Chain A
Amino acid sequence: MILARIAGTVVATRKDPRLEGKTLLICQLIGAGGEDEKGYVIAVDTVNAGYREKVLIVQGSSARMASGCKDTPVDAAIVGIVDHVEQDT
Chain B
Amino acid sequence: MYLGKVIGNVVCSAKDDALVGIRLMLVERVYGGGTVVALDAVGAGPGETVYVCRGKEASFAFKGREVPTEATIVGIVDP
Contact = CB atoms under 8 A, between A and B. Distances in A.
Interface in B18-67: 18-19, 24, 26, 35-39, 46-47, 55-56, 58-59, 66-67
Contacts, number: 100
Q: Which secondary structure dominates where chain B touches chain A?
A: strand
A21 B56 CA distance: 25
Interface residues of A, number: 30
Interface of A: 1-3, 31-32, 46-48, 56, 58-63, 65-67, 69, 77, 79-88
| Interface size bracket, B side | 20 to 34
A26 to B, nearest CB: 19
Contacts of A2: 36-37
